[in-house]
């Protein structure tokens, strides 16, 4: 049997404040963008940098936490999986968008940077009965 893995981890800064909406069934979903920048020196010693933007999607409790605690410019760690969505516009043109579907988020940086307590926040899943501790 072959195995596969779809996992992404990024550390970057929010490019915009998170936006939250609700699905028709009432499930919260929050979207935001994160920029990561890498720097290197060319062979002639010139310093270069490149910024990559990622669209992040968080669902459920994690969506509510992201909306409540994250702001533009804040440094964040996001872990999740890549997902590509496809759709056709009104003219029949096919489009696609690749997103990071988050399952964990950790706020990073100094308290002075974001005026919030630095804490780890992650999606909470219902515990299985065999996972519960008897004390």
What is the structure's pLDDT at 46?
93
What is the structure's pLDDT at 69?
96
Mean of pLDDT over the chain? 85
CA–CA distance, 5 with 20 (Å, rounded to integer): 28
For 74-120, the pLDDT digits (tens) are: 999 999 999 999 999 999 999 999 999 999 999 998 655 544 433 33
51 and 35 Cβ atoms separated by less than 8 Å: yes
Q: Strands (DSSP E) along the chain, which ranges?
A: 8-14, 19-22, 28-41, 47-59, 75-88, 94-107, 120-122
**pTM value?**
0.76
Answer yes or no: CATH 3.40.50.2000 is held by domain 8-115.
Answer: no
Give me the residue spans of the domains in the chain.
8-115
């Amino acid at each position: 049997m072959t195995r596969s893995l779809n996992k992404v981890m990024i550390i970057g800064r929010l490019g915009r404040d998170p936006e939250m909406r609700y699905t028709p069934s009432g499930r919260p979903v929050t979207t935001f963008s994160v920029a990561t920048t890498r720097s290197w020196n060319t062979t002639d010693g010139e310093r270069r940098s490149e910024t990559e933007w990622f669209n992040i999607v968080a669902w459920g409790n994690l969506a509510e936490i992201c909306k409540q605690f994250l702001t533009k410019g804040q440094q964040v760690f996001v872990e999740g999986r890549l997902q590509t969505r496809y759709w056709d516009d009104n003219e029949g043109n096919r489009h696609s968008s690749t997103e990071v579907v988050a399952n964990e988020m950790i706020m990073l940086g100094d308290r002075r940077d974001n005026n919030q307590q630095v804490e780890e926040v992650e999606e909470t899943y219902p515990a299985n009965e065999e996972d519960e501790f008897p004390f």
